[in-house]
């Protein structure tokens, strides 16, 4: 088996192609956060500073682009959790990450539903969910050991709570602020007494 057969296509790209790929994913993330998963591909290409042909060369389908954006966001969220593992206050580290999860959910604006509805990689949701749960569990375990959270709290319920808050506030004019307020109330309920 050749070395190229094992390396994902993004890692085999020329430097300029890799920059275009990264710019497209970043622009798509921003446009999706503003307009939802049905955002204009032309607007994404424009914001990335590439032509439509370049966008389609990297992402032949909308589904492929949405999957790349989702994977990128999940990787960033898990990296943030990893960075927070060394924070001096384990409870605040967990709560900071939960706020990041809320921002992640708010920025997705229908992305998860579009990925499930339109087919694509059937393992993507499960793989990404597992990564997020694992990242959150590490922070929660550390917070529990520091007696910063109630002992019966588990990561799955925390993630459901953050997701529910995001869904409940996504259509409000100032949904992000309302989500932050509701999450602050929820975090008070999670803290150890």
CB 187 within 8 A of CB 95: yes
According to the model, what pLDDT value does residue 119 have? 62
- Domains delineated in the chain: 1-60 (1.10.10), 69-193 (1.10.357.10)
| CA distances, 106 to each of 7, 119, 143, 161 (Å) | 32, 22, 25, 13
Q: Is the pLDDT of residue 10 over 60?
A: no
Mean pLDDT of 148-172: 89
pTM greater than 0.85: no
* Arithmetic mean of pLDDT, 1-24: 69
Average confidence score pLDDT of the chain: 86
């Amino acid at each position: 088996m050749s070395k190229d057969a094992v390396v994902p296509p993004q890692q085999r790209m020329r430097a300029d192609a890799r920059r275009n790929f990264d710019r497209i994913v970043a622009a798509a993330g921003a446009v999706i956060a503003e307009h939802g998963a049905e955002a204009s591909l032309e607007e994404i290409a424009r914001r990335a500073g590439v032509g439509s042909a370049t966008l389609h060369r990297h992402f032949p389908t909308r589904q492929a682009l949405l999957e790349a954006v989702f994977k990128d966001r999940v990787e960033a969220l898990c990296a943030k959790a990893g960075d927070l593992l060394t924070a001096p206050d384990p409870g605040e580290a967990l709560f900071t990450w939960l706020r990041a999860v809320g921002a992640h959910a708010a920025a997705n604006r229908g992305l998860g539903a579009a990925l499930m509805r339109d087919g694509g990689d059937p393992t993507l949701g499960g793989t990404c969910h597992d990564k997020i749960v694992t990242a959150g569990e590490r922070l929660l375990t550390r917070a529990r050991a520091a007696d910063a959270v109630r002992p019966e709290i588990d990561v799955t319920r925390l993630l459901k709570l953050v997701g529910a808050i995001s869904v409940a506030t996504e259509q409000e004019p100032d949904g992000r602020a309302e989500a932050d307020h509701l999450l602050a109330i929820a975090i008070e309920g999670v803290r150890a007494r």
